[in-house]
Structure 1
Amino acid sequence: MERGYAVASINYRYVNDSVHFPIPIIDCKDAVRWLHKNAKVYNIDENKIGLWGASAGAHLALMTAYSNNDDFVGDENLKSTNSDVIYIIDNFGPTKLDQLLRSQLNPIVSASLRLFANETYLKRKEKIEQLTGFTLKKKAKATEILKKLSPVNSINHNSVPTLIMHGDSDEIVPYEQSYILNEALKKYKVKCKFYSYKNAIHGFKNISTQEITTISNDIISFIDQITESND
């Protein structure tokens, strides 16, 4: 607030056995539409709205930012309202879900995973079913949906500027997920910055207060740069 930025936190529905994608993305897109619609009420400059997310929230923010204006509509009253944002800040978010969840494993490798790492197998199985609504018995359909839900597959020359931050020792979301995103953005010549943090784990839980301050300053600097260029 001291820097002149208003912050809104999106309350989206979590995936479970009955709530599947794209419902959480619809919630996020509608939230952005609502901000545009009510910008004057809250004295918000709707031409400078951006998104910031971490982990699963970063995935949703990326999908919201990279999808088309009229994609993922939930509330019919917001259907004609703009959902544009001008930047996205991605903190260690999943970007290529079919690779992350290994939905295309062949039967032999999948059976080996189940035998020697059953807990990992069950978590993977549960997450795929919650995200897609399909079991591994319908692997092709599940993989198709996971690809559609992967931000890297929604990037084009018009994608918004993106700031990526990831620790190279992340034990939850592999560092490679951010590398893949950065390469895709560069391919389409989208403005992006990629900050890598040596030995940092998921959530940056093991880095110093000084490093956290540096991260915060880098984020603010990126936002300043993008919003000022949009005056």
Structure 2
Amino acid sequence: MTLGRRRTAFVAMVVVAGLMLAACSSEETGAGGAAPAGGAAALIFATTVKASDTSTSTVIAPTGAQIVRGKTNVTAHNDIVYSAPTVNGQQTELKLDLQVPETAGQKPLVIYIPGGGFVLSQKTANLDQRTYVAEQGYVVASIEYRTIGQGATYKTGPADVKSAVRYLRAHADEYGIDAGEVAVWGQSAGGYLAAMTGTTNGDKQFDVGDNLDQSSDVQGVVDEFGASDLSKIAADFDQAAQDANYAPGNSLATWVYGAGTKESVKNPSAAITASDPIGYISSRTAPFLSLHGSADRLISPSQTLLLHNALRSKGIESSRYVLTGADHGDLSFTGDTAAGKPWGTQETMNHIVDFLDKQLAG
């Protein structure tokens, strides 16, 4: 088979697998979300990844022990309806799963936002890592949100996350939550939504729905391999991957412009600017922790760098870790069972827990 045919076959495999991808993170179970109209896939693997600047970041090579669950008993509350927005003329229930450690007192809240290329949002994703964080003394909520198959755009995504923040603050006493200490943590598309949520503290345009008497502001953001400027999402990649990511009317374009668009995210526009968390940074923006693999083939590593540098230039606390040789989280859906290991090490996860401890429990 020629190189061109091998690449075509690989792209076809990724398009099919991309529609099955739930979070690019560990231990994904269950079903949820909807494919976009026409079956357009959001994900394509690059064959080459250009090295990006690490001068403002910390480079690590996590190869040590994996996290282990079982330190603390955790109570699960699943399928809690936190919002019921109207989708295509009908109310659609959005649900979350909650993990509450069985320890005394109110606990800080961490809201986990799964990935899925804006095509899927499975709240059952990443159970091992979510449980590990809960066992460190945090109430952890994993949420679903509207996808592009449900007409979602960059406007509705952050609105859904903020609805979950407000709902959980309104029910803080019921679940033993310290309502004044809330962080968001996302991976891939979820990392992007976490960034949008944290940069828009105090921006009421994304506060719609119920519990509007509650604040949607968060006190910390963990962004694992999330996008920022979608017009540069493939900037570190080979031409074939760039062409796929910037194709007119694809899933990324649908996320920005809406269903049926013929636009490309590569083209500058007011909508592209409005979809970029960098443009919302203000004095109210939450502190950030970003993590990205140096060999990420789905979202250019420079995406978190752009956001990290922009945050620091505006005086916002921001730390960024680059995982040497790491790809885009768990890629076991492709048959690669090793890719997720750097993300599940005690070293990597303890950087996240240390950040949460500082911002929420310090």
State the TM-score, normalized to the length of structure 1. Answer: 0.82
- Written as runs of structure 1 = structure 2, the 5 A alignment for 1:85-96 is 85-96=218-229
Residue aligning to 2:156: 23
| 2:320 aligned residue (176, 194, 197) | 194
Alignment of 1:126 onto 2:212 = no
Contact kept, 8 Å, 2:246 with 2:265, in 1: the verdict is: no
Q: Which amino acid aligns with 1:149?
A: S
| 1:164 aligned residue (290, 301, 310) | 290
Alignment of 1:145 onto 2:279 = no
| 1:136 aligned residue (240, 244, 263) | 263
- Written as runs of structure 1 = structure 2, the 5 A alignment for 1:27-106 is 27-69=160-202, 70-75=204-209, 77-100=210-233
Q: More displaced, 212-221 or 202-211?
A: 202-211
SS for the counterpart of 1:30 is helix
Taking the aligned partners of 1:137 and 1:122, their CA distance within structure 2 comes to 6
Which whole-Å deviations, capped at 9, do the CAs of 1:33-65 have from their partners, x for residues lacking one? 111111111110011110000000011111111
Q: More displaced, 176-185 or 12-21?
A: 12-21
Residue aligning to 1:155: 281
Q: More displaced, 26-35 or 122-131?
A: 122-131
SS for the counterpart of 2:309 is helix
**Structure 1 gap segments, 5+ residues each:** 103-112
Q: Which amino acid aligns with 2:262?
A: T
SS for the counterpart of 2:270 is helix
Alignment of 1:179 onto 2:305 = yes
Deviation at 1:71, TM superposition (A): 2.8
Deviation at 1:129, TM superposition (A): 2.7
Q: Over aligned residue pairs, what C-alpha RMSD do you find?
A: 2.8
State the TM-score, normalized to the length of structure 2. Answer: 0.54
Taking the aligned partners of 2:242 and 2:299, their CA distance within structure 1 comes to 19
Change (3 A) 1:124 1:194: farther
Taking the aligned partners of 1:118 and 1:152, their CA distance within structure 2 comes to 22
Taking the aligned partners of 1:161 and 1:118, their CA distance within structure 2 comes to 31
Taking the aligned partners of 1:93 and 1:117, their CA distance within structure 2 comes to 17
Q: Which amino acid aligns with 1:73?
A: D
Contact kept, 8 Å, 1:92 with 1:178, in 2: the verdict is: yes
Taking the aligned partners of 1:101 and 1:51, their CA distance within structure 2 comes to 25
Contact kept, 8 Å, 1:90 with 1:165, in 2: the verdict is: yes
Deviation at 1:130, TM superposition (A): 3.9
Q: Which amino acid aligns with 2:200?
A: S
Q: More displaced, 34-43 or 121-130?
A: 121-130
Which whole-Å deviations, capped at 9, do the CAs of 1:89-133 have from their partners, x for residues lacking one? 00000011232278xxxxxxxxxx8xx789716755312034322
Taking the aligned partners of 2:183 and 2:359, their CA distance within structure 1 comes to 10
SS for the counterpart of 2:289 is strand
Change (3 A) 1:155 1:137: closer
SS for the counterpart of 1:180 is helix
Give percent identity, aligned residues only. 27
**Structure 2 gap segments, 5+ residues each:** 1-133, 332-338
Taking the aligned partners of 1:176 and 1:196, their CA distance within structure 2 comes to 10
Q: More displaced, 157-166 or 131-140?
A: 131-140
Change (3 A) 1:8 1:211: closer
Taking the aligned partners of 1:198 and 1:118, their CA distance within structure 2 comes to 23
| 1:203 aligned residue (329, 341, 344) | 329
Taking the aligned partners of 1:227 and 1:58, their CA distance within structure 2 comes to 19
Change (3 A) 1:6 1:97: same
Contact kept, 8 Å, 1:92 with 1:165, in 2: the verdict is: yes
Taking the aligned partners of 2:161 and 2:344, their CA distance within structure 1 comes to 30
Contact kept, 8 Å, 1:169 with 1:200, in 2: the verdict is: yes
Taking the aligned partners of 1:204 and 1:138, their CA distance within structure 2 comes to 26
